[in-house]
Amino acid sequence: MAKYFDVHPNDPQPRAISQVVDLIRADGLIAYPTDSCFALGCQLGNQKGIDRIREIRRLDAGHHFTLVCKDFAQLGQFVHVSNALFRSIKAATPGSYTFILPATKEVPRRLLHPKKKTVGVRIPDHAVVQALLTELGEPLLSSTLLLPDEDEPLTQGWEIKERLDYVLDAVIDVGECGDVPTTVIDFSQDEPEILRRGAGDTSLFE
C-alpha cells in the first residue's frame, strides 16, 4: 500500500521530503508532481523500479526513460552537451522540456536507447521536485504517469493513490497538477527534432 504525502506545492515540508527520499533509497517507486504532469520515479540504479515502471505503463524496450536533474551542472554529468547547444538548452531550463542527448558513461547501459545510446534529461521548474533532488543528491529516473489505453495523464494525487495503491510505495499530493507532458526534443542528430509538442514553448528550437 502506497504511503500518502500531502505536501505544500511551494514550500514543501522537509520532514515529508526526507521520508519520501528514504523510500526512494530503499528501492521504492513513487508518483510525484512536476511542472508538466505527474511522473513515476525511482533511484537510478533501481532495476526493479525500472521493471515496475515498464509494467505499469506497458513500455517496450525502446522507451526513453528520463533522468530528472536538479540543475544544469548535474545534467552535464549524464549527457554530452556540445558548445553549440549549451546556450539553447541552458536558456530553456528549468522548464517543461525533455532533451534527448548522447549519454555519458555515468548512465547505466540498460537505460540507453538500444541503437542511439541516448537518454532523456530534464530540469523541472517545481519546488517539490527540486527539494526531492536536493535531498537525494542524484537524478530521479522517471517516466510520465500515463496509464495504458488512456489519453490523458492522471492529475490528482488522491486518484493515483486510489488506482495504483498496490503498485507504488508513495504518492506525493500537492493539489491539482497539470495534464500536459513535457515537450520532447531530440538533439542527438545534426538538427533538433521535436518528438512531442507539450508544455514547453517549441519556438525556442525552431
Q: What is the pLDDT of residue 62?
A: 74
Q: What is the pLDDT of residues 47-89, one digit of tens each?
A: 999 999 999 999 987 787 899 999 999 999 999 999 888 888 9
Q: Which among 4, 3, 6 is positioned nearest to 174, based on CA atoms?
A: 6
Radius of gyration in angstroms for the set of CA atoms belonging to the chain, rounded to a whole number: 16
Q: What is the pLDDT of residue 67?
A: 97
> Mean pLDDT over residues 167-189, rounded?
93
| CATH number attached to the domain at 3-205 | 3.90.870.10
**Residue ranges per domain, the chain?**
3-205
- Taking the C-alpha atoms of residue 37 and residue 194, their distance in angstroms, rounded to an integer, is 19
Q: What is the pLDDT of residues 179-195, one digit of tens each?
A: 999 999 999 888 889 99
Q: What is the pLDDT of residue 116?
A: 84
Residues 6+ away with beta carbon under 8 Å from 204: 88, 91, 92
Burial (0-12, 13-18, 19+ Cβ within 10 Å), 73? exposed
> Mean pLDDT over residues 14-38, rounded?
97
Q: What is the pLDDT of residue 189?
A: 86
pLDDT at 113 over 80: no
Q: Is 179 left (phi over 0), alpha (psi -120 to 50) or beta?
A: alpha
Burial code (b: 16+ CB inside 10 Å, e: under 16) for 40-61 equals bbbbbebeebbebbeebbeeee
Q: What is the pTM of this model?
A: 0.94
Q: What percent of the chain has pLDDT over 70?
A: 100
Q: Which amino acid is residue 41, in one-letter code?
A: G
Q: What is the pLDDT of residue 63?
A: 80
The grid cell for 110 is 540498460
